[in-house]
A and B are shown apart, each in its own frame.
Chain A
Amino acid sequence: MERKIRILVAKPGLDGHDRGAKVIARAFMEAGFEVIYTGIRQTPEDIVEAAVQEDVDCIAMSILSGAHNYLFSRVMELAKEKGIEDVLVIAGGIIPDEDISYLKSIGIAEIFTPGTPTSYAVDFVRKNVKR
């Protein structure tokens, strides 16, 4: 039986605008993924704990608040601590170009900024999940 891709869609931090997260969650569902949607105001601890219990193949984070450098690096730290560093981590939202190289250096596999077709994100996940 084909193994289903399980993906966590979460919004770290305090911004409450989740339209983008919902659109991408829906696109992942249409692609046949099982999407664990956790919604807004998630701490990095919440996100990593959910990823462990749900045994996801990918964590997708959406953020608009500008706190991405801090929150994402905390997620990556905790992922390592909990032994799930093999999980693919991607992100999207309002993220300035000059932050992207830093975020990639801490292990975020790809950053999807406004205007990215959802199919591009879906293909990226399909090609890059490690398990």
Chain B
Amino acid sequence: MDLYEEVLKGNKRSIAKLITLVENKDEEGFEIYERLYKKTGGAKRVGVTGPPGAGKSTLLDILAGTYLDDGFKAAVVTVDPTSPFTGGAILGDRVRMKEIAGRENCFVRSMGSRGALGGISSGAIYAVDILDVAGYDYIFIETVGTGQSEVDIVKLSDMVILITVPDLGDDIQAFKAGIMEIGDLIVINKCDREGALRTYNHISSILSLKRGEKPPIITTDCISRKGIEELRREVDRLLDLRIKSEEIGNRRRQIGLEELKRSLVDIVIEKSLKSKNIEDVLDNIGNKNYSPGYGAKILIKSLCSQEGEYDT
């Protein structure tokens, strides 16, 4: 089976296989990914983030469904936490995606965070690129349930939806830096619950002090489907705005920079840990001859002298 051709044709089994290969950092998989990468850029990428239990998967089930209804191809890449102790994971987002999971023009892939701390794994990013070239028009990326600082998603998508729920904390929580700043669109889900109006007021008063464009706030309820039409309208409007504006070039360049940084860290760590000096450096750190920071510089130096192309 030629994975390259089959992925371009949109063969689901091949897409799934290639995602597994690159997620496991398989060399052959990366070769195919590299060839496919040139063809990325057709899909609109929407990040979805928010605290655990806010309703991210449920809301996506409905929102992605509206795009399928309109004849688009839609995919969801969803990340759940990997256990730092066993390496295992329970990937449970499919439970909430019963409406879309089996539909012809839909693809849902669940992934473990595998040690990534920013709410999204590097495997997830490859998956999005692969789905892009496979012809999906809209790709939704759902992060792990986030707390306050998992903001990586903003660097990887064309727009970010931040989903929250009524009365998670007082106005001081909405006041803090971090996750509250990254939403291009803020959704208060489960708005049938008490405190929804209070939360709306807190968030809108904090945002009124924000510089630049202020994100719209939408209240939704997935049971009665209240607010879904408005949500869809706003997502379309914001994507349209983004893609037409000068900003999209900058944003995509920013995404390139972030990916480059991530790959650099991966490569440098991998190569450094293989260095023959590593035991020696660890001994010196243990004996307090120098600090870990100094040890890192020594390793980088030895890397540079080992291989001509790593010129200082």
Binding site for B on A (CB under 8 A): 1, 3-4, 6, 25-26, 28-39, 43, 45-46, 49-50, 52-55, 82-84
Give every chain A residue within 8 A of B109 (Cβ-Cβ).
53-54
Give every chain A residue within 8 A of B108 (Cβ-Cβ).
50, 53
| B20, A35: Cβ atoms closer than 8 Å | no
- Shortest CB–CB separation between residue A75 and chain B, in angstroms? 14
Bound together, the chains give a CA A4 to CA B123 distance in angstroms of 13
Give every chain B residue within 8 A of A35 (Cβ-Cβ).
88-91
CB-CB under 8 A for A54 and B24, given A35-B90, A35-B91: no
Within 8 A of A (CB), among B48-97: 82-83, 86-92, 94-95
| A54, B88: Cβ atoms closer than 8 Å | no
Give every chain A residue within 8 A of B15 (Cβ-Cβ).
53
Q: Name 15 interchain pairs, CB-CB below 8 A, sorted by A.
A: A6-B20, A28-B88, A29-B83, A30-B86, A31-B88, A32-B87, A35-B89, A37-B92, A49-B102, A50-B94, A52-B16, A54-B94, A54-B109, A82-B13, A84-B13
| A37, B94: Cβ atoms closer than 8 Å | yes
Give every chain A residue within 8 A of B25 (Cβ-Cβ).
1
| B90, A49: Cβ atoms closer than 8 Å | no
Extra inter-chain contacts (17) besides given A39-B95, A49-B101, CB under 8 Å: A1-B25, A26-B90, A29-B86, A30-B88, A35-B91, A37-B90, A37-B91, A37-B92, A39-B94, A46-B101, A50-B94, A52-B13, A53-B101, A53-B109, A82-B13, A83-B13, A84-B13
Give every chain A residue within 8 A of B24 (Cβ-Cβ).
1, 3-4
Bound together, the chains give a CA A107 to CA B284 distance in angstroms of 58
| A29, B101: Cβ atoms closer than 8 Å | no
Give every chain B residue within 8 A of A45 (Cβ-Cβ).
102
B107 contacts chain A at the CB level, 8 A cutoff? yes
B12 contacts chain A at the CB level, 8 A cutoff? yes
Give every chain A residue within 8 A of B88 (Cβ-Cβ).
28-35
- Shortest CB–CB separation between residue B136 and chain A, in angstroms? 12
Give every chain B residue within 8 A of A34 (Cβ-Cβ).
82, 88-89, 91, 112
The 8 Å CB contact of A25, one of B17, B90, B98, B101, is B90
B110 contacts chain A at the CB level, 8 A cutoff? yes
| B12, A29: Cβ atoms closer than 8 Å | no
- Closest residue to B106 on the A side, CB-wise? A53
Bound together, the chains give a CA A38 to CA B109 distance in angstroms of 12
Give every chain A residue within 8 A of B191 (Cβ-Cβ).
none
Bound together, the chains give a CA A82 to CA B12 distance in angstroms of 10
CB-CB under 8 A for A53 and B16, given A1-B25, A45-B102: yes
B180 contacts chain A at the CB level, 8 A cutoff? no
Give every chain A residue within 8 A of B102 (Cβ-Cβ).
43, 45-46, 49
| B17, A29: Cβ atoms closer than 8 Å | no
B133 contacts chain A at the CB level, 8 A cutoff? no
Give every chain B residue within 8 A of A33 (Cβ-Cβ).
88
Give every chain A residue within 8 A of B112 (Cβ-Cβ).
4, 34
